[in-house]
Amino acid sequence: MQTLSATLVAAQKSRSLVPYVKVETWDETARVKILSWSRWYTGTEADSPHAAWVSGDGSLIRARATGGKLYVQRVANPTAESDYSAWIELAVGIHASSPVALCGVGSIVALFYVDAAGTGVKYRASGENGASWTDEVAAGVAGGTVSQLAAVSRDASNLVVFLSVGGTVSSLTYADGWGAVTAWTNVVKTVTGLAAFYGGDYNLVVTGTDTTDSCHVWTTIFGDNYSYAVGDWGPLVDVVTASAGTGVEYHQPAVGFPDVYRLWYLEKYTGTVAYSRPYWSHGIRGAADYASNVWREPVPFDLSSTRGLSMAYSSPSAEGQVFVTASSGVWRAALSSTVHDLTGDVLELNLHEGERAGRAVVTLRNDDGRYNAGGSFAEGLGKGWQLEVSLGARTTEGNETGTARLFWIQSWRRSCEARRAVIVLEAVDAWGLLELWRARRHLSWTAGSMTRFQLLQAVVGFVGLELASIGSLSSEMSADQPAFAIAPGESGATAVRRLLDQVPEVLFWRQATGYVKSVSASDSASYAYGTDHVIYRGEAMEEAYRVNRVQVFGAGTYGEEQTWDEIAGVGDRLTQVVDLNLNTADRVNGRAAAVKRKWELAATPTMLVTPVSCGVELYDVVTVTESRLGLSTAKRRVRGYTVRYARSSTQRGPERRGLWEMDLVLGGA
């Protein structure tokens, strides 16, 4: 249950309560800003290796290499009206396919490229935000032709250049002088792109192929004593994979942390109706560090390109903007989220949260056309935007609410009749986002690679959601590492349900985070209905268990659970589970107990209609006292609720009392 102030708890129990519903829209998905890109420049430059950087004074610096020449551009105070077509020729006689990389700290900027031989890494520096550049300086020499470059500054005295020769990535470190070119410890066949930024360690994205010719977008880390020791390499972790022979390749990534972890890469398809376009992804808002980050399902960007995009932003992002660039293009997006308060226009609310689905339907006044095109509030709505609904009441301290409940707008419709004109927003909860996600390809995890908690974390991460836990978890959730697969076209919701069916834990959502927790008959009640909190009406059922016997068949093992008194009365109501991941007696018996426990939670269904409890959450344990139902401090567990609010048409202001009630669906505790 949400934590509410004492004054709000008192108000929601009062028979003279005045409800308060706060509704806001945010241009975010799962607490992450939806970037709205504006193209500021469309040029005629050929697609070629390029890089971008925002220096300490906010200047946008771009570099490109083409025809054996190196060009650079500095645009101070970049705007949509700035000139992005003027380039300065900085070097000639460089390698015909030289990659380029930019990095910096404050007013210091360094530009790296490859000499005519293809093996020497050269650089030029600027101490004036790119306004002028030093002569060429040698950084190091590789053992073969350098195909990819990335550069990262930790501070003004320490930086690392990452370079690739064939399938080997090497580091070239500067700390009061250049060190040796040192190969990494990972093994791949080819490297088709490198990108890096600093965040405690040197965090990288690598594109290329493995030894079986499958194509990958990987993340990895070059340690600086945060997640890994100085100079140690982390493993390659897949973001996206394409099997050999599919015609899909990945190239030219970009990565950084303008507000959350964000990455770009180029996807090429060489089959019939070939294409080559950038894709983007971002991490979850609550990611603790790069090593534990989970990436959203990548999304295509409307551009045909052979060299991908570079990303540049100030650090920290004081200007609140981020750029992506190509040799012939500059795009800009604001990083600050926009919030619109719709509270004053709310006429009705229907909010539902269930164990496997949730929704919010909000009816707003539109009598003056404020939500029509060109209306004063038209910019407050966006498809996919976050809808935040907070339930509350007027208290002695003013209007107070519980924590906002998050939904995501899928549609709106305008309607009118007689003197009434409204707009109705329909939004889904986290389960709805998961239901709308479909696997693009076959996804599989081998036994021994991830726990069920980590698998759940990966699946909910596909739609940008976070996963956390409350209390201790079962070994089935936190220790077992089963084989698992998601078929093409399968929804994220189905995949999550299949994983939850294998464990005793339950899952509920609090804002953009899913929480898994164990439920026990010994859990204490957190709220009481029927004493201070009135019950309008209700039903209490006693029914036979729909399942009273469970059989589980594993790999050469068998386990079962049963409820003998139920079997004696209604006979054997059997469910069977076959899971070859279960290879010990403890594991099959644990699964049987988990299945039995979940059927017990569905028993003794009780339905109540009460004034809204502003802090209610799924799986709260509550007590019910209602003599007419034969219940006295009976423990029950919340399995769903629906909130209904309507402002009276004869009263003014959304805070005036109208319809304000909640349907509670309760099960066994």
Task: Decide: helix, strand or coil at residue 6.
Answer: helix
CATH number of 32-334: 2.120.10.70
- pTM of the prediction? 0.91
Tell me the helix, strand and coil percentages in the chain, rounded to 5.
10, 45, 45
CB 192 within 8 A of CB 165: no
Mean model confidence pLDDT for the chain: 93
User: What residue ranges in 477-605 does DSSP mark as E strands?
Assistant: 484-486, 506-510, 513-517, 527-529, 537-540, 549-553, 558-562, 574-578
Calpha distance 596→574 (Å, rounded): 11
Taking only the tens place, the pLDDT of each residue in 458-475 is 999 999 999 999 999 998
CB atoms within 10 A of CB 553: 17
Q: Does 656 have pLDDT greater than 50?
A: no
Calpha distance 626→11 (Å, rounded): 21
Residue 315 confidence class, pLDDT cut points 50, 70, 90: low
Residues 6 or more apart in contact with residue 132 via CB below 8 angstroms: 126
Q: Which residues pair with 410 in a beta bridge?
A: none
Taking only the tens place, the pLDDT of each residue in 262-284 is 999 999 999 999 999 999 999 99
Whether omega for the bond prior to residue 488 falls within 30 degrees of 0, making it cis, is no
Residues 6 or more apart in contact with residue 658 via CB below 8 angstroms: 19, 645, 646, 647, 648, 651
CB 197 within 8 A of CB 205: no
The alpha-helical segments, DSSP class H, found in 49-175 are none
Q: If you average pLDDT over residues 158-163, what whole number do you get? A: 97
Calpha distance 115→432 (Å, rounded): 53
Calpha distance 182→172 (Å, rounded): 7
Residue 654 vs residue 521, higher pLDDT: 521
CB 384 within 8 A of CB 35: no
Calpha distance 560→404 (Å, rounded): 42
Task: Decide: helix, strand or coil at residue 199.
Answer: strand
CB 637 within 8 A of CB 620: yes
Describe the crossing of helices 492-500 and 452-461 by its angle, rounded to 10 degrees.
160
Q: If you average pLDDT over residues 229-239, what whole number do you get? A: 96
HSE, side-chain direction, 13 A CA sphere, residue 619: 20
Q: If you average pLDDT over residues 44-53, what whole number do you get? A: 97
Q: Does 409 have pLDDT greater than 90?
A: yes
Domains of the chain by residue range: 32-334, 552-596
Taking only the tens place, the pLDDT of each residue in 410-451 is 999 999 988 899 999 999 999 999 999 999 999 999 999 999
Taking only the tens place, the pLDDT of each residue in 328-357 is 999 999 999 999 999 999 999 999 999 999
CB atoms within 10 A of CB 138: 11
Pairing of strands 527-529, 621-626: parallel
- Identity of the residue numbered 151: A
Calpha distance 149→156 (Å, rounded): 20
Calpha distance 163→101 (Å, rounded): 10
Q: Does 655 have pLDDT greater than 50?
A: no
pLDDT of residue 319: 58
Residue 84 confidence class, pLDDT cut points 50, 70, 90: very high
Q: Does 20 have pLDDT greater than 90?
A: yes
CB 127 within 8 A of CB 111: no
Using the structure block, give the residue that is written with the tokens 């008959």.
Answer: 521
Q: If you average pLDDT over residues 15-26, what whole number do you get? A: 94
Residues 6 or more apart in contact with residue 647 via CB below 8 angstroms: 346, 347, 348, 653, 654, 656, 658
Sheet with 88-92: strands ordered across:
50-54, 60-66, 69-75, 88-92
Taking only the tens place, the pLDDT of each residue in 531-583 is 999 999 999 988 888 888 999 999 999 999 999 988 999 999 999 989 888 88
Residue 460 vs residue 653, higher pLDDT: 460
Q: Does 653 have pLDDT greater than 60?
A: no
Q: If you average pLDDT over residues 233-246, what whole number do you get? A: 95
Q: Does 652 have pLDDT greater than 60?
A: no
Distances (CA, A) of 82 to 44, 390, 399: 16, 43, 47
Whether omega for the bond prior to residue 316 falls within 30 degrees of 0, making it cis, is yes
CB atoms within 10 A of CB 574: 13
Calpha distance 432→615 (Å, rounded): 22
- Identity of the residue numbered 488: P
- Burial category of 157 from C-beta neighbours within 10 Å (exposed 0-12, middle 13-18, buried 19 and up): exposed
